[in-house]
Amino acid sequence: MRALLAGFCGEFKRILGDEGARTTMIAAVLIYAVFYPQPYLKEAVRKVPVVVVDQDHSTASRELIRRIDASDGAAVIAAAQDLSTARSHILAGRAFAIIVIPTDFERDILAGRPSPIAAYGDAGYFLVYRAAVGAISTAARSAGAEIAIHRLSIQQGVDSATARAIVDPMPVTIVPLFNPQGGYATYVVPTAFVLILQQTLLMGIGILGPARPQTAGRQTLGGLATGMLARVLAFVTLYIPFAVLYLVIMPHLYHLPRLGAVGDLLMVMALFLFAVSCLGLTLAALMPSGESVILMLVVLGLPLFFLSGVSWPSESMPKLLSMLAQCIPAIPAMNATVRIGQMGASLADVSPELRTLAIDAGAYALAALICQSVRDTIEP
């Protein structure tokens, strides 16, 4: 126990005494907490600028434009005389979509004929494109439904309630669960926070490198295991407050949903940090220098984010790739923390992720012990 406590305190001194480790494991974590969520704080894309080419100049066309401008997704910023003029707004970056209302738009509607409109959107910005085109489509559908109801009521004498049931026989009420704003921050920030914790911890361990034996001569297996356990406990102790900051305090400050019990989150994070620490010790023992560890983690940063299932659904990944992703502690930890923190799940509900983290922790602890033992044998 005395050796374990001495190793624990010694590792904390190494972290605080090494400028690179201190910057990576403390300063960088705090900086990420403040600056990383900023681009996502608006949650959903709203009021995308659009340009209207109204070739009809009728009451019906003005009503359609009013509906589009009143929607959350689009805002009419200009009226152009022709398509080429409207296109110049797109090329200049002042607008992201064009609505073309053709001549005889109102006359065709009054005559009972289809009166299509054209919508051109800049699909290079997918979220912006989806918001603008979605707002235009919704406005057109709602206007079309009211016209159909009016025809049934006036021309065929159908009462308004029956007419609405005929036009829309199965109305849908959409209730967004666990992401009430339908925003991107609620979706991506909590998972990215877990990946940030993993990457900064691994980089910090790589910078610190393998632990040097406290006594001269070759360490016994028990002494080596005690020293490694002391280091792991120091890393976990250091990062548990950061986990609370990232998964409890920051969601509250940024108004992100959080339903689960804090204790359950901390249990998941403790197991996750233990697995990451053991993985970091393995890499530190295998790599020739801390710079090699950092370079490898920088190169793997984007693939790890891809494997997390945030940018691409994990169900669409090849089965083998999805299985290999479970060897990365952040992947099961992301799923567990999101289900607990945002969906109100219990530890029993995330037992598969906990088992995966436990297997990762055990496997990497054994690997770290073996790699450090071999390194101590090889090095003078």
Report whether 336 contacts 266 (CB < 8 A): no
For 112, the token pair is: 């009972």
pLDDT of residue 46: 86
Whether 130 contacts 62, CB under 8 Å = no
Beta strand ranges found along the chain (DSSP E): 48-54, 74-79, 97-101, 118-121
Largest CA distance in the chain: 100
Residue 226 φ then ψ, to 5°: -65, -45
Amino acid at 51: V
What residue segments make up the domains of the chain, in order of their start?
A: 2-41+183-378, 48-167
Which residues, given as ranges, of the chain have pLDDT below 50? 216-217
The H or E element that residue 199 is part of is helix 184-208
Q: What is the CATH number that goes with domain 48-167?
A: 3.40.1710.10
Q: Using N-to-C axis directions, what is the helix angle for 330-341 and 184-208, rounded to 10°?
A: 140
What is the length of the chain? Answer: 380
Beta bridge partners of 75: 49
Specify the pLDDT at position 211. Answer: 62
Rounded to the nearest 10 degrees, the angle between the axes of helix 351-378 and helix 330-341 is: 150
Q: What is the pLDDT of residue 216?
A: 47
Contacts of 69 (CB under 8 A, 6+ apart): 75, 76
- What stretch of H or E contains 253? helix 250-253
DSSP per-residue codes, 116-167: --EEEE-TTSHHHHHHHHHHHHHHHHHHHHHHHHHHHHHHS---HHHHHHHH
Q: Give the whole-angstrom CA distance, residue 82 versus residue 262.
A: 58
pTM over the 0.85 mark: no
Report pLDDT for 379.
Answer: 62
Closest CA relative to residue 236, chosen from 283, 197, 270: 270
Report the C-alpha gap between 252 and 240 in whole angstroms: 18
For residue 28, the model assigns a pLDDT of 92
Tokens 């993985």 locate to 279
Tell me which H or E stretch contains 310.
none
